[in-house]
Amino acid sequence: MANTVTISKKEYQRLLERALRYEYLQKIIKEKADIFGPPLIRNIKEIMRAFRETKLYSPQFLKSLEKGLKRSSYFKK
């Protein structure tokens, strides 16, 4: 008796994509010990400059990010 399961191509692709994302996340976590730790830089202006320079983020996101950083107790120390 064979252990065979038949699934649709769409379901196979969905499962494969999930597995690849999981493997990618595992790799990132192994490479960087503390990815959820606080940023090393405490200068809000430097952080904002770096985000703007990427040209990946909308003005609304950047405004929201800056507002959040200013509210953060981490940056008030």
pTM: predicted TM-score of the whole model, two decimal places: 0.51
Residue 34 near residue 60, CB atoms below 8 Å? no
Note the pLDDT tens digit of each residue in 4-22: 989 999 999 999 999 999 9
60 vs 72, higher pLDDT: 60
Question: pLDDT: is 33 or 62 the higher one?
Answer: 62
**d(C-alpha 35, C-alpha 37), whole Å:** 6
